Amino acid sequence: MGAVKLEIRCPRNVNGIGIEPDPDWSFDALLSELDSLEKKLINVSSSVPLPSTKTKPREIYGEKGVKKRSPNALVMKISDSEFEDSESEAVEVNDGAFVKAAQFNYDEFYLSGSDDDSESDNEWCLQARTDEAGLHQVGVKEEIRNRISALETDLMNETEKCCSAHAKVEKYREARLEVERKIDVQYQRRIAQGLDNYLTAIQRDHDLKSQIEERRITRDAAPEEAKRLGQEMAKAEAEAKPKLIRAAESGLKQERERLEKLKEWDIEIRNQLSLRSSSNVDFGSIERHIGRLIRQIRGTRDNVSRKASELIKIFNNPQYCPQAISIGYFANKVVSHCESPSFDDAAFACGYVIVLVTSQFPQAMDLVVAQLQRACIYIVPKHISYSNSSAFESREAYWKAIGYREEEDGKIESSKDYLKRLECYMKLYGALVQTEVPGCPNFHGLEQGWAWLARFLNALPANIYTAVALNGFLQMAGFALFTKYKSQFIKLLNIV
């Protein structure tokens, strides 16, 4: 076996310091000794300014943090003959080969014990260190680039994994939301079906109880009701025999009472006008002003309140115009407003104004309803049947009796114009009975509307005139009647 020979390519000592390593040293001990030697050399050459001072052993790192050996490091060689003579080593090598037992980064220093060459040695040492620093920076940069590349790759992989996981979570969430929505829809359907069945059962029980109660009342009141109906029918037949008038007796009675009040009011108005005629007071301007206020009524709360206040102000000023005259003008103008083209959009507003005004002047309500009955017989309600007897001289006479107007050329207006005007009168009446103003009583409210509907269905026949009248009334007052009378109103609709 051959012995290990350490060959050093530099002088044996520097400034009296030996540099030949101990053959028994370990690799870490040799590095420590080299670092100590380097510090001593730096102290010797401190008179020469150096760019930097190292405090750590020189190390060159390659890829993945593995230390690289300097190409100019110390080399330990073992010859074949010495290797064969050595009894302490058991490693076999090929013929003519050398094995590098250890490599030391010594930077190829040229060490000389001569004081004359110290300056050149320091310069050579400085150059070697600069080269070593450059190589170290290159290695560090390469290592940094490799690590950054690896981190970027890992980051991209993690990002893709996160995106994939997020997509799966979103897909799962949407699937769960869809399932929950379907469950909610099914649950709501079941609730709606159960509620509908429950309400149907309640309505059925209520109808059954109502039928039983009605039968009991009918059975108890049958004798008196039959007698009363017989008397009313006999009286109505006797009064309506010449013109074949069909109406409820209670409706005809109220019509006569209102027309009597209207006649009395007309007489009072004429008396007032005759008394004021000597003073040359023009009441025509008052009439025109009231008519203008009524025509300006629109379906807004502010407009309705303002017009009602102005009318009440006129009625409260008897010196300006007698109250009887101003109220008479108001009743006449509000009914004639039904013939205005813009009335369809102001029916509810007119009813509201009437209730506000009549709440302060109750006598005005009878005048308004009487003017409506005079303009339209179906406000009573009543119907005049045509007969070829001597009751009517001609068909035109019958048309005039039920409310047709004679035009300027002497002809009777068309049925289309008559039915349009009839519908407007009924709309105003329906809007009046259904109007409810907080704090203001309606003296012709839903009770009167319910009575009118019962009389209408009991007494009047089904034809084009009664159909138009009933439709106009229900358009305005139907919802309010249903809200108050509910199932009883539904029964009347079933009759219709």
- Whether residue 164 lies inside any domain: the answer is no
Contact 287, 333 (CB under 8 A): yes
DSSP character at residue 462: -
Instruction: Find where tokens 């080299």 sit.
Output: 34
pLDDT of 304 > 50? The answer is: yes
Question: Does residue 44 lie in a domain region?
Answer: yes
| Structural domains counted in the chain | 2
CA-closest candidate to residue 335, choices 458, 270, 428, 258: 428
Residue-wise pLDDT tens digits, 218-270 = 666 656 655 665 566 555 554 444 457 888 899 999 999 998 888 888 887 77
Q: Which of residues 144, 168, 193 is at a domain's end?
A: 144
Q: Say whether both 140 and 250 belong to one domain.
A: no
How far is residue 125 from each of residues 121, 238, 288, 306, 323, measured CA to CA in Å? Answer: 6, 148, 124, 110, 130
Whether residue 174 is contained in a domain is answered as: no
Same domain, 278 and 392: yes
Range(s) of the domain holding residue 61: 5-144
Q: 307-364: per-residue pLDDT in tens? A: 999 999 999 887 778 888 888 899 999 999 998 887 878 899 999 999 999 999 998 9
pLDDT of residue 88: 43
Q: Running DSSP on this structure, what letter comes out for residue 440?
A: B
Query: Is residue 201 a part of any domain in this protein?
Result: no
353 within some domain: yes
Q: Of the candidates 144, 179, 194, which is a domain's last residue?
A: 144
The identity of residue 428, as a single letter, is L
* Of 76, 71, 49, the residue nearest 131 (C-alpha): 71
Contact status, residue 469 vs residue 381, Cβ threshold 8 Å: yes
Provide the 8-state DSSP code for 340.
S
pLDDT tens-digit profile of 455-496? 999 999 999 999 999 999 999 999 999 999 999 999 988 888
For the segment 89-119, what is each residue's pLDDT rounded down to a tens digit? 433 434 443 344 444 444 444 444 445 555 6
pTM above 0.75, yes or no: no
Same domain, yes or no, for 298 and 418? yes
Q: Which of 120, 144, 168 is the last residue in one of the domains?
A: 144
Closest CA to 453 of 270, 292, 248, 265: 248
